[in-house]
């Protein structure tokens, strides 16, 4: 397999490190030519997870996305969801023909409210059989420091998922596989919303006792949404195969809500302390996926019809100017 990585942020850089540490040579699309030059001379990304060093002989870097796609037969797309459509619009409609796509995106593409696989099917005719996800509780900063982490590869074909997973196994990275392509993507989206809420709670000076109850209820709410989603798409037999306590669901929710590396938690903490959304975005200077995700999930749930009051209140705080204090007073009444 010849891998290409699309994106150069924290998560893209971490995935590039995992692949190269496992002996893969990769093609890497990086928008900024200064970053490419810096990587060539200093061996690390100057802006993101700069503690991750590369053997540049394993890297072919270019700011021409078409070139990177043409040279690769497996493409890892790891751009922020808000920018992904603009990136992919640079490509011709047949660019992904015969290629495997691995989504490392933890959000919904906002203009059409699509998961990446839905967008790729519409605009590039990518079949679901050629689409995988790579998700789970794995902060880029801990990958850089080679602390043991777990990722889940999802594809409807288990043998393909296992084949892809081998290329990401390292001494510090374990992989698992499942078939729940839609579920793992929506879990990644929802956990960012709930983590943002965990940050707001911290900013409002709620304690750990409250936070544990909040997260337990958020986990239950997330599973309710995913089960409703699966109920609409899969058989009862398929539903029973899904373990929602697995790392890609519950584990990712927990680490994103608790970890100091979590940008969604950090963003929420600013909101809880009284920052406006705009001020928090400027201060963070990184994308907090939970912000846009809250609006996208609110829209999506008009079709799914799951009972997700915590996510709904997050949407109202972030997009309808509901004061955080009032929103969390409503949440207090919901928790069990």
Cα separation of 300 and 113, whole Å?
Answer: 8
Shared domain check, 47 and 32:
yes
Shared domain check, 164 and 66:
yes
Shared domain check, 172 and 41:
yes
Shared domain check, 163 and 222:
no
pTM for this prediction: 0.94
Shared domain check, 46 and 26:
yes
Shared domain check, 154 and 17:
yes
For 60, the token pair is 């072919």
Shared domain check, 174 and 36:
yes
Shared domain check, 26 and 95:
yes
CATH code of the domain containing 197: 1.10.1040.10
Domain that holds residue 39: 3-179
Shared domain check, 170 and 221:
no
Shared domain check, 229 and 167:
no
User: How much is the CA Rg of the chain, to the nearest whole Å?
Assistant: 19
Shared domain check, 15 and 137:
yes
Of 179, 204, 222, which one is at a domain's C-terminal end? 179
* pLDDT tens-place values along the chain, 336 residues long: 999 999 999 999 999 999 999 999 999 999 999 999 999 999 999 999 999 999 999 999 999 999 999 999 999 999 999 999 999 999 999 999 999 999 999 999 999 999 999 999 999 999 999 999 999 999 999 998 999 999 999 999 999 999 999 999 999 999 999 999 999 999 999 999 999 999 999 999 999 999 999 999 999 999 999 999 876 555 556 666 789 999 999 999 999 999 999 999 999 999 999 999 999 999 988 788 999 999 999 999 999 999 999 999 999 999 999 999 999 999 999 999
CATH code of the domain containing 141: 3.40.50.720
Strand partners, 131: 101
Total domains, the chain? 2
155 touches 131 (CB < 8 A): yes
Q: Three-state SS string across 22-42, please?
A: CCCCEEEECCCHHHHHHHHHH
Shared domain check, 157 and 287:
no
């Amino acid at each position: 397999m010849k891998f290409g990585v699309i994106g150069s942020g924290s998560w893209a850089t971490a995935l590039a490190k995992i692949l190269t540490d496992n002996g893969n040579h990769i093609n890497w699309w990086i928008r900024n030519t200064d970053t490419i030059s810096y990587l060539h001379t200093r061996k690390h990304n100057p802006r993101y997870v700069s503690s991750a060093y590369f053997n540049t002989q394993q890297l072919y870097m270019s700011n021409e996305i078409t070139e990177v796609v043409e040279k690769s037969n497996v493409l890892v797309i790891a751009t922020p969801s808000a920018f992904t459509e603009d990136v992919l619009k640079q490509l011709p409609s047949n660019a992904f023909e015969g290629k495997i796509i691995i989504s490392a995106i933890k959000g919904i593409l906002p203009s059409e409210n699509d998961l990446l696989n839905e967008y790729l099917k519409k605009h590039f005719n990518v079949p679901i059989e050629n689409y995988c996800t790579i998700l789970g509780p794995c902060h880029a900063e801990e990958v850089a420091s080679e602390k043991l982490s777990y990722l889940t590869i999802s594809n409807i074909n288990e043998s393909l998922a296992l084949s892809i997973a081998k290329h990401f196994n390292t001494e510090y990275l374990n992989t698992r596989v499942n078939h729940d392509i839609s579920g793992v993507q929506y879990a990644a989206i929802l956990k960012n919303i709930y983590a943002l809420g965990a940050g707001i709670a911290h900013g409002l000076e709620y304690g750990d006792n409250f936070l544990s109850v909040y997260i337990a209820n958020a986990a239950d709410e997330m599973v309710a949404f995913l089960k409703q989603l699966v109920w609409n798409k899969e058989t009862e037999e398929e539903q029973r195969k899904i373990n929602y306590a697995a790392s890609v669901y519950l584990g990712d929710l927990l680490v994103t809500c608790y970890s100091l590396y979590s940008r969604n938690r950090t963003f929420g903490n600013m909101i809880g302390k009284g920052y406006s959304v705009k001020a928090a975005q400027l201060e963070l200077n990184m994308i907090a996926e939970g912000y846009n995700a809250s609006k996208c999930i609110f829209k999506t749930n008009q079709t799914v019809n799951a009972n997700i009051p915590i996510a709904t209140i997050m949407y109202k705080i972030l997009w309808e100017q509901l004061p955080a204090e009032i929103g969390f007073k409503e949440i207090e009444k919901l928790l069990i």
